[in-house]
Amino acid sequence: MKNKLIAMILLGLFISCKENDSNEKQFIYEGNPIVRYMFTADPSARVFNGRLYVYTSHDEDTADANQHFLMNNWHVFSTEDMINWTGHGQILSLDDISWTDRQAWAPDCIERNGKYYFYFPVEQTKIGVAVSNSPVGPFKDILGRPLIDNTNNEVIVGREPIDPALFIDDDGQAYMYFGCRDARVVKLKENMIEIEGEIQPIVIKGNKEDAENSGGYYAEAPWMFKRDSTYYFVYSNGWRSQSTIIYAIGNNPMGPFNYVGEVMSPVGAGTSHASILQYNDKWYIFYHNNVLSDNGKRRSICYDEITFDIDGKINHLIYNER
């Protein structure tokens, strides 16, 4: 018994040292939210080499519900079975970027030619790109300047070029979607750090009469995925307790898209941001809520399985707080 106790103590010390050295934390999914030891938001879920990774922004513990978002860095979490998770720690910080110092908001990451490209919005006006040889970083700002900047170019770029979302089509063409209130899309060159052609507005049909926080109104948080031959353009319709994740469909990644309806019922967090992907023959939606804090500036990432009907429409997900 004594030897067993000593072994357990030594094992605990080893695990603790391992966590400290690698900045990793192992944890088990206990139901939503996924991560319970820190506040995370804006999940971008990706599958690399058979493993699922979720890239997130980070709401600081001291974020005040009555003030603006307090966000200084980005994190990534991964799993192979949706139950056993690894928190890989901070992968990029505002301190690592020479040309900005505020508002580390919703990111995305994508792999191309063995490298991982991490796209990050800052200042509500700019999008940068960092690169790594590993999906868990460390990532390095590759350009030393923004890839997208609306300074003196708001008409083309949009009022708030935030929330980058990447998509590579079957023919190898890469696209980046972004924008708050003004939905935009642009092609990227194969090197993933240069735009190709003009930034274009996204046309969504069937939502012209819809107001902010309802219907098909485009607010922010774009996401693109393809299922069979259909392109699904997913986004948020506002910033109130009744706003949620909705979607439109089309036959071209540049649009136009036809508004369909809600992906899921509202979670009541004040903001909505989601990603959808297929993993191990199932489809999942990742999103955030605020059940751990009851504070819209301290959010937590979640996931649920989604399904499709015979016509390819998403079966409406009823959100259950748990």
Q: Is pLDDT above 70 for 20?
A: no
Query: Which residues make beta-bridge pairs with 184?
Result: 178, 201
Q: What is the pLDDT of residue 209?
A: 87
For residue 66, what pLDDT is reported? 85
Would you say how long the chain is, in residues?
322
Biggest CA-to-CA distance, the chain: 73
Look up residue 92 and give its two tokens: 């990029």
- The pLDDT of residue 132 is above 50: yes
pLDDT at 167 over 80: yes
Whether 315 is in a domain gets the answer no
- Whether 253 is in a domain gets the answer yes
**Among the options 160, 194, 220, 262, which is catalytic?**
220
Is residue 224 a part of any domain in this protein?
A: yes
Question: pTM to 2 decimals?
Answer: 0.93
If one compares 1 and 94, the residue with the highest pLDDT of the two is 94
Is position 96 within any domain?
A: yes
149 is annotated as an active-site residue: no
Please say if 194 is a catalytic residue: no
CATH number of 112's domain: 2.115.10.20
pLDDT > 90? residue 204: yes
CA 265 to CA 267: how far, in whole Å?
7
Task: Determine, yes or no, domain membership for 10.
Answer: no
Question: Which one-letter DSSP state was computed for residue 10?
Answer: H
Handedness of CA 81, 83, 88, 92 (dihedral sign): positive
Which residues are CB-neighbours of 68 under 8 A, at least 6 positions away? none
- What is the mean predicted confidence (pLDDT) over 37-44? 98
Q: Are 273 and 254 in contact (CB under 8 A)?
A: no
> Do the domain assignments include residue 200?
yes
Q: Is 277 exposed, middle or buried (0-12, 13-18, 19+ CB in 10 A)?
A: middle
Q: Which of 170, 231, 146, 180 is nearest to 69 (CA)?
A: 180
- Mean pLDDT, rounded, of the chain: 93
298/292 Cα distance (integer angstroms): 8
The amino acid that residue 152 corresponds to is N
Of 42, 59, 123, 160, which is the active-site residue?
A: 42
Give me the numbers of helices (H) and strands (E) for the chain, helices first please: 2, 22
pLDDT tens digits, residue range 256-275?
999 999 999 999 999 999 99
Task: Give the domain extent around 125.
Answer: 23-306
Name, in order, each residue with C-beta under 8 angstroms of 226's C-beta and a sequence gap of 6 or more. Answer: 167, 169, 170, 232, 253
The total number of structural domains that make up the chain? 1
Residue range 218-243, pLDDT digits in tens = 999 999 999 999 999 999 999 999 99
Report if residue 17 sits inside a domain.
no
Q: Does residue 313 sit within a domain?
A: no
